[in-house]
A and B are shown apart, each in its own frame.
Chain A
C-alpha cells in the first residue's frame, strides 16, 4: 500500500522490505515442535540480544527460510524443508527459552 512502491527508490525499498517477522516461522516449526516456538525467547550468538523468535527477520530463500537477528543481522536460524526431512540449523542462537503449557 503506502507510497513506498511509487517512490524513485522503488527497487531498493522493495529489497529492503523483502522480509517478514518471525511470526511466519510458526507454521513451518509447528511441523517439528508440539509447542509454539515463536514466543520462545532466544539469545543471538552474535551480539547477545535477546527476544522472541517472532521478532527475527525472516527471508524466504528457497529452498528454505533464513531468520536473522534484527539488531546485528546475523543468521540465527535456518530451516530447510525437504520431502521427508526438515533441517533446522540453530547455530546463531546461543540459547532458547521455550514457554511450556498453555495454548499457543
Chain B
C-alpha cells in the first residue's frame, strides 16, 4: 500500500514502474499493476515474491512501512477497463496476473457497474489464491472460477491442469456476445490463453493481454 501525493485517478488495469536505486547509484526498475480501484492518493500493489529475484524479495522482505520508493505512473491506455464499457467481460488471470483484473473487479464494484463479469483464475494450489476472502464474498454479476494446476481442494469438480479451451467455453462467453477479454499472467500462460481464445472465434482486437514476463508467478 502506497500513499502517493498528487496521484491522478488511475484506470483499472494500469501499472506503475517501481524504481529502486542503491547507494552506489545502481538502479533497476520493475512494473507492478495497480490492484485497487481509484481511491484518492492511495495505491495498492500486490507483489509476489520470486525466490531468486532481484526486486520482488526486496520489496517484500526489506522494505518497511514508511520507506519511500520511486513510482512512475499510472501507465497504459490499452490494457484498461473503463466503467462506461457495457459489454460482457471475461477476465483470465494466471498467478499474480490476477492483480490488474482485481482492479477491474473492484472498480466495477465501486461504481456499481452492470457489465457482467466472468473471472477465470488459475493458480497452482489453494494457498496461492490472492484476494480469496474478497472473491469468495463475490459481487452481483461477477462469476468466479478457480483453475488449479497442481493441487485442488478435495471437493473441486475440475481436474487439475493448465487452462484448456473447455475451461474457456464453460467459464467464459460465446464469441458472438462480443465480450472484451482481458488476459494477464506469466508470458507462457497468456500465450496459451490468447491462442485458445482466438481459436474459439474471439476477435483479436477484443483480446487484451498483459504479459508479466517469464516470472510474475
Judge whether B143 is part of the interface by a CB distance below 8 angstroms.
no
Find A1's partner among B10, B11, B75, B128 (CB 8 Å cutoff).
B128
Residues in A neighbouring B77, C-beta threshold 8 A: 26, 36, 38-39, 99, 104
Residues on B with C-beta less than 8 A from A13 are: 188
> With an 8 A cutoff between CB atoms, is B178 at the interface?
no
With most chain B CB atoms within 10 A of its CB, the pick from A14, A23, A24, A104 is A23
Interface size class of B (residues with CB under 8 A): 35 or more
- How many residue-residue contacts, CB under 8 A, span A and B? 103
Q: Which of B72, B186, B211 contacts A21 (CB 8 A)?
A: B211
Contact A14 B214 (CB under 8 A): yes
A18 close to B (CB within 8 Å): yes
Cα–Cα distance between A40 and B184 once the two chains are bound (Å): 20
A54 & B149 in contact (Cβ 8 Å cutoff): no
A17 touches B162 (CB 8 A): no
Q: How far is the CB of A37 from chain B (nearest CB, A)?
A: 8
C-alpha gap A55/B194 in the complex (Å): 12
Pair B187/A3 contact, Cβ less than 8 Å: no
Most buried by A among B14, B96, B149, B213: B213
- CB-defined contacts of B187 to chain A, threshold 8 Å: 17-20
Interface of B is mostly: mixed
Asked whether A104 lies within 8 Å of B74 as measured between CB atoms, the reply is yes
- Encode A82-104 as 1/0 by CB contact (under 8 A) with B: 00000000000000000100011
Q: Counting CB contacts under 8 A, is B210 at the interface?
A: yes
A39 proximity list for chain B (CB < 8 A): 77-78
- Between B72, B80, B210, B214, the greatest number of chain A beta carbons within 10 A of the residue's beta carbon is seen for B214
Contacts of A18 in B (CB 8 A): 187, 213-214
| Given A1-B95, A2-B122, A27-B17: A21 in contact with B31 (beta carbons within 8 A) | no
Q: Is the CB of A104 within 8 A of B11?
A: yes
Point out the residue from A3, A17, A22, A103 that lies within 8 Å of B149, measured CB to CB: A3
Residue B138 is within 8 A (CB to CB) of chain A in the complex: no
B95 and chain A: residue at smallest CB distance: A1
Does A52 lie at the interface of the complex (its beta carbon under 8 Å from any beta carbon of B)? yes
A30 interfacial by beta-carbon distance below 8 Å: yes
- B73 at the A interface (CB under 8 A): yes
B191 contacts the other chain (CB 8 A): yes
Q: With a CB–CB cut-off of 8 A, which chain A residues contact B95?
A: 1-2
Residues of A within 8 A of B (CB): 1-4, 13-14, 16-24, 26-27, 30, 36, 38-39, 52-55, 99, 103-104
Q: What are the 3 A-B residue pairs with the smallest beta carbon separation, nearest first?
A: A1-B95, A54-B78, A17-B187
